[in-house]
C-alpha cells in the first residue's frame, strides 16, 4: 500500500484533490501523478529490489544532485528535496517527488530532424556545462571482468526452465560472450571526461511543443563524451523501421558539432564499447525475469518483457553502428 497522503504531507504540497493515477513508461520504478492543493506532481516509487543494493541510495542522491546543478543552464527536471535529500522513506517505500511536466515523449517513427537537432544541441551543452559546474572531470577507466554469460544462462534456466525467452538467450550466448569481452576491453581505454545524463534516449525527454525537458537522471555521472554521442545518434536517428534516418543523423551531429569538437575521439574503441550498456541491461533483466534479482512478480514480468526486445536490439544495433561509422567517416 502506497501512503499517498503521507507523501503529500511530507512534501508540504497540501491536500490531494483526486486519486493518484499511474503514469506509464517506467522500466524500473513506478510513477504516479498527484494533483494536490499546491499543484501537480509526479511521485516515483523506487524499485525495492534496486534499493536493496548497498550503493543504490547514494547513487540516487548523487544523480539528483547532478540534475539539480544542471537545472540552471539546461531543461533538467530534478527531484524536490526535504531536509536536504531528494529521497524520502515513507511507509516502507523510498520515494522521490517531481514537479509535473505536461509534455510527452516522442518515439520513432514520429521523431523528426527537429527533435534530433534540439537534443544534439542539448547534449553538447550538457557536456560543456558539466565542466563549468563541477570542474574538469577526469575519471580513469577501469577494466571490468566480462560477465559470465554461461553461468547466468544456466542459473536462469534452472529457475525458469519454461521461460519463452530462454531459447533465444541460449542461442545468443556465443555472440554475447564475444561482444561482452571485446566491449569491456575497449571501454577500459576510454577516459570519462564529462558529466552527463547517460540515458538520453527518447523515453527520457518530454516535449512541450518544441521545448524538451530531460527526466530520469538516475544514470547520471561521468562519461566518455563520444561514447554518449554515439548512443544518442543511434536513438535519435531511429527511423522506426529498423534503420536510421540520415536526415536526423545529420541534424543531431551538426547541432552537437556546432558546440563541441570531436577531433580527439577514439572512435575505434568507442564503437567496440558501444554494446556495453545494452549488455548490462540484458543481464539485469535476465536476473529479474528468472527471479535471481527479485521475487516480485510484477518485476519479473517486466524483466521478461525486456529480454527478447533487448536481444533483438543488440543484433539490430550491430548493423546500424556500421552505418553510423560509415556516415562519420571513421
Predicted local confidence at residue 41, as pLDDT? 98
Predicted local confidence at residue 140, as pLDDT? 73
Please determine, for residue 220, whether its predicted confidence score (pLDDT) is greater than 70.
Answer: yes
- The Cα–Cα gap between 205 and 214 comes to 5
| pLDDT, average across residues 39-49 | 94
Round the CA-based radius of gyration of the chain to a whole number and report it: 20
Please determine, for residue 10, whether its predicted confidence score (pLDDT) is greater than 70.
Answer: yes
Please determine, for residue 137, whether its predicted confidence score (pLDDT) is greater than 80.
Answer: no
Predicted local confidence at residue 83, as pLDDT? 95
List for the chain the helix, strand, coil content (%; round to 5): 50, 15, 35
Element (H, E) at 211: strand 211-214
- The Cα–Cα gap between 66 and 218 comes to 9
Please determine, for residue 187, whether its predicted confidence score (pLDDT) is greater than 80.
Answer: yes
Please determine, for residue 132, whether its predicted confidence score (pLDDT) is greater than 80.
Answer: no
Spell out a b/e string for 219-251, using b for 16 or more CB atoms within 10 Å of the CB, else e. Answer: ebbbbbbbbbbbbbbbbbbbbeeeebbeebbbb
Q: Write out the three cell numbers for 111.
A: 521523431
DSSP codes, 40-100: EEEEEE--HHHHTSTTHHHHHHHHHHHHHHHTTTS-B-----BTTBS-EEETTEEEEEEE-
Predicted local confidence at residue 249, as pLDDT? 98
Predicted local confidence at residue 179, as pLDDT? 96
Please determine, for residue 107, whether its predicted confidence score (pLDDT) is greater than 70.
Answer: yes
Predicted local confidence at residue 294, as pLDDT? 77
Res. 136 pLDDT band, cuts 50 70 90: low
For 78-104, the pLDDT digits (tens) are 999 999 999 999 998 999 999 999 999
Please determine, for residue 33, whether its predicted confidence score (pLDDT) is greater than 80.
Answer: yes
- The Cα–Cα gap between 271 and 189 comes to 12
Please determine, for residue 155, whether its predicted confidence score (pLDDT) is greater than 80.
Answer: yes
Domains and CATH numbers, the chain: 4-99 (3.30.200.20), 113-328 (3.90.1200)
Amino acid at each position: 500500500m502506497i501512503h499517498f497522503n503521507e507523501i503529500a504531507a511530507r512534501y508540504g504540497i497540501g491536500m490531494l484533490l483526486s486519486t493518484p493515477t499511474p503514469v506509464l513508461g517506467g522500466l524500473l520504478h513506478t510513477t504516479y501523478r498527484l494533483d494536490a492543493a499546491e499543484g501537480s506532481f509526479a511521485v516515483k516509487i523506487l524499485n525495492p529490489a534496486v534499493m536493496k543494493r548497498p550503493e543504490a541510495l547514494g547513487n540516487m542522491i548523487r544523480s539528483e544532485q547532478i540534475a539539480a546543478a544542471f537545472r540552471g543552464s539546461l531543461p533538467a527536471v530534478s527531484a524536490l528535496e526535504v531536509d536536504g535529500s531528494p529521497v524520502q522513506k515513507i511507509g516502507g517505500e523510498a520515494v522521490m517527488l517531481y514537479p509535473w511536466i505536461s509534455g510527452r515523449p516522442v518515439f520513432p517513427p514520429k521523431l523528426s530532424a527537429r527533435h534530433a537537432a534540439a537534443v544534439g544541441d542539448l547534449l553538447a551543452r550538457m557536456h560543456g556545462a558539466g565542466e563549468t559546474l563541477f570542474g574538469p572531470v577526469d575519471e580513469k577507466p577501469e577494466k571490468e571482468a566480462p560477465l559470465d554469460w554461461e553461468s547466468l544462462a544456466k542459473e536462469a534456466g534452472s529457475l525458469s526452465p519454461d521461460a519463452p525467452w530462454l531459447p533465444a538467450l541460449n542461442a545468443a550466448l556465443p555472440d554475447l560472450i564475444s561482444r561482452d569481452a571485446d566491449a569491456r576491453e575497449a571501454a577500459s581505454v576510454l577516459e570519462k571526461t564529462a558529466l552527463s545524463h547517460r540515458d538520453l534516449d527518447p523515453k527520457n525527454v518530454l516535449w512541450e511543443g518544441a521545448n524538451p525537458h530531460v527526466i530520469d537522471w538516475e544514470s547520471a555521472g561521468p562519461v566518455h563524451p563520444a561514447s554518449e554521442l554515439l548512443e544518442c545518434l543511434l536513438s535519435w536517428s531511429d527511423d522506426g523501421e529498423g534503420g536510421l534516418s540520415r536526415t536526423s543523423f545529420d541534424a543531431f551531429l551538426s547541432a552537437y558539432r556546432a558546440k563541441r569538437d570531436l577531433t580527439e575521439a577514439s572512435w575505434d574503441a568507442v564503437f567496440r564499447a558501444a554494446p556495453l550498456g545494452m549488455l548490462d541491461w540484458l543481464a539485469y533483466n535476465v536476473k529479474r525475469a528468472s527471479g535471481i534479482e527479485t521475487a516480485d512478480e510484477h518485476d519479473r514480468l517486466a524483466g521478461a518483457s525486456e529480454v527478447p526486445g533487448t536481444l533483438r536490439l543488440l543484433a539490430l544495433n550491430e548493423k546500424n553502428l556500421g552505418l553510423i561509422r560509415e556516415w562519420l567517416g571513421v
